[in-house]
Structure 1
Amino acid sequence: MRNISIDLLDATPRPVVAIGTDYAYGQWLPRHTHRRAQLLYGATGVMQVSTHDGNWVVPPQRAVWIPAGVAHEVLMLGVSTRSLYIEPSAIDLGQRCQVISVSPLMRHLLMEAVEMALEYAENSRDAALVDLLLHELALSTHLPLHIPLPLDARLLALCQAFVQRPDAHQSPQQWADQLHVSLRTFNRLFRQQTGLSFSQWRQRACVVLALARLVAGEPVTSIALDFGYDSPAAFSTMFRRLLGQPPSVWLEGAK
C-alpha cells in the first residue's frame, strides 16, 4: 500500500500492515499516536522524531521503533518511508522509541512488504515474509541516536537551549552555576534525569544533531567549528568513539 493513512487500515485483521509514503522536504507531522506499534524506515532522507522524553535523528537506511500509544511528531527531510504498523502482541521492543540498524535483508523485505495484499493469505509467501520481518526486527541493533531530555524544568531549559545551539566547550560547572547548585549536586541530578553523564550527553547531542547536516551535504569542517570543536579531527574522533566509524564512512553506508 502506498500513500494512505493507517487510520483507514488499522482494523485490518493482520498482525502487520505495511505502508509506503512519500513526503515533501520539510513536511512536519504534528504530535499524534497509533494504536499499533510502528517501525518507521526512511529509504531516503532524514527524519527527526520527538516525544516528551527526547529527540531522535534517523539517517537514511535506518529506522525508528515507535511503541504503541507513544505520542510523537516527525520532521521529514526528503524522506520516502516504508512503515510497518504492528499489533502490540506481535513483538515488543520496549516502551521507548529507539533508532535501529536495518540489515540488507530487512531492507529488501520492507520494500516487498508494501507491495503485499492488505489481507494476505495465511500460510502464504506474504505471511512468511511478515514472519521473517519480525524475526529480523527482533535481532536488530539499537543505535545511540537519542538525545534524552530531563523532566526537571530548569534543566530541561538548558538542554533545549543546547540542542538549539550546540557548544562542545560548555562545561558541567557552567550549567551548575546557572542552576545555582554545587557541581556534585548537578552531576547527580543530570544523571538521574537523563541516564547519562553531562559529557556523554553533550557528545551524544553533538553527534545526533550533526547527522542531519552531514546527510544534507554540509562539510565536517563547518559543522565541527559551528559546534565549538577545536578542529575537524577532534570532532571526527568523538564521532567515531560514539558510532564506531568516522563521519565519511558513516555517510557512505547511508547512501
Structure 2
Amino acid sequence: MRNVLAVQADSLPGRIVATSNEYPTHHRIARHDHRRSQLLYAAHGIMVVGTETGRWIVPPERAAWIPAGMSHDVHVLAQISTRSIYVEPEVSAALPSDCRVIGVSPLMRHLLLETLDLPLLVEAGSGSRPDLIYSLIVHEIERAPVLPLDIPFPADPRLAKRCRAYLAHPSPHDSIDDWCRDLAMSRRTFTRRFRAETGTSFAQWCRQAAIFAALPRLAAGEAITTLALDLGYESASAFTTMFKRLIGMPPSRYLAMSQPLPSPTLRAAIASIDG
C-alpha cells in the first residue's frame, strides 16, 4: 500500500503489512509506537530514528528495525523513499527485540520492491506468492547483519547532556579527561559509568558519533578532505577507510546514493534532530 501514514499503520489488518511512502527533506514523524514490529527501509535518502535511549541513522539501502511497542520518531535529513514492513510479534520468536539498523541484502531489497502491489490480506501458510514473499522477508530480517549506526544515550541526565553536546560539535581534541573535568568525576568512575550506561567504551562512542555527524555533512556536499581533517583524521584516505568499515561503503558511493541536504551546516541538522 502506498502513502499510508505511520500513525495509521495499526488500523490495517493482517499479520504482516507492507506500506510505501515518500517524504521531503526535514519532514518529521512525531513520536508514536506500533502494535507490530516495523522494518523501515530507506530506498533513497537519509533518516534518523530516535527513541528515549538513542538515535539510529539510516543511510540509503539500509533499514531500521523497531520492535513492537517501542515509542519512536523519524526525522528525514534528505528526501527519502521508504518501504515499511509491519510484523506481528508472534510471527517469529527469532526477530530482534531491540532497535537497530540492519544491512539489506540484494534479495531483501528486491522482495521489498515486490511488496508494493501485494494484496492487503495474505493468508499465512498458504504457500501463495505473497505469503512466500513475506516469509522470505522475515527470514532475511532474522539473518541481517547489525550495522554500527546507533548513538546510545546514557540514562544519567548530565552524561546524556554532555553526549548531545559532543554530537552537535564533535571535536578530535576532546579527551576523556576533559569530560571527567566537566562532569566532576574521577576517570575511573566516568569510565565505569559510561560503559555501563551506553554499552560501549568512551573512545568507541566518540568514533561512532563522528561518523554519525559526518553523514549529513557529506549529504550537504561538504568536501571529504575538509570533513576528514575537521574530525581529526590525518587524511581523506584514513577517513574513507574508517567510513567504509563502519558504513559498509566508501563515502563516494554513499554520496552517489544520497539526495542533497539543503541545510548548510551540521549544527542546524543536529539541532533539528535533538529539538
Task: Work out whether the TM-score is over 0.5.
Answer: yes
Q: Quick check: 1:59–1:215 contact (8 Å CA) kept in 2?
A: no
- Indicate how the Cα distance of structure 1 residues 43 and 175 shifts in structure 2: closer, same or farther if over 3 A, else same: same
CA drift of 1:179 comes to 1.1
Structure 2 distance, partners of 1:103, 1:117, is 24
- Indicate how the Cα distance of structure 1 residues 243 and 25 shifts in structure 2: closer, same or farther if over 3 A, else same: closer
Percent identity of paired positions between Structure 1 and Structure 2: 47
Structure 1 distance, partners of 2:7, 2:244, is 41
CA drift of 1:88 comes to 1.1
Structure 1 residues 203-222: aligned runs within 5 Å: 203-222=207-226
- 1:20 — aligned with what? 20
> Any idea what SS the aligned residue of 1:119 has?
coil
- 1:99 — aligned with what? 101
Q: Name the amino acid aligned to 2:100.
A: Q
When the two chains are superposed, the root-mean-square deviation of aligned CA atoms in Å is 2.1
2:135 matched to 1:135?
no
- 1:89 — aligned with what? 90
Structure 1 residues 30-109: aligned runs within 5 Å: 30-76=30-76, 77-91=78-92, 92-109=94-111
Structure 1 distance, partners of 2:121, 2:7, is 16
Q: Quick check: 1:45–1:59 contact (8 Å CA) kept in 2?
A: yes
Q: Quick check: 1:240–1:246 contact (8 Å CA) kept in 2?
A: yes
Unaligned runs of 5+ in 2: 260-275
Structure 2 distance, partners of 1:237, 1:6, is 36
- Indicate how the Cα distance of structure 1 residues 56 and 9 shifts in structure 2: closer, same or farther if over 3 A, else same: closer
Q: Deviations over 1:115-141 (max 9, x none)?
A: 101013533211111111111111111
Structure 2 distance, partners of 1:123, 1:42, is 28
2:227 matched to 1:223?
yes
Q: Name the amino acid aligned to 2:80.
A: V
CA drift of 1:195 comes to 0.9
CA drift of 1:25 comes to 1.3
Q: TM-score, normalised by structure 1?
A: 0.91
What is the aligned length?
Answer: 255
> Any idea what SS the aligned residue of 1:10 has?
helix
Structure 1 distance, partners of 2:7, 2:74, is 17
2:114 pairs, out of 112, 115, 130, with 112
Structure 2 distance, partners of 1:35, 1:49, is 17
CA drift of 1:96 comes to 2.1
Unaligned runs of 5+ in 1: none
Structure 2 distance, partners of 1:232, 1:81, is 31
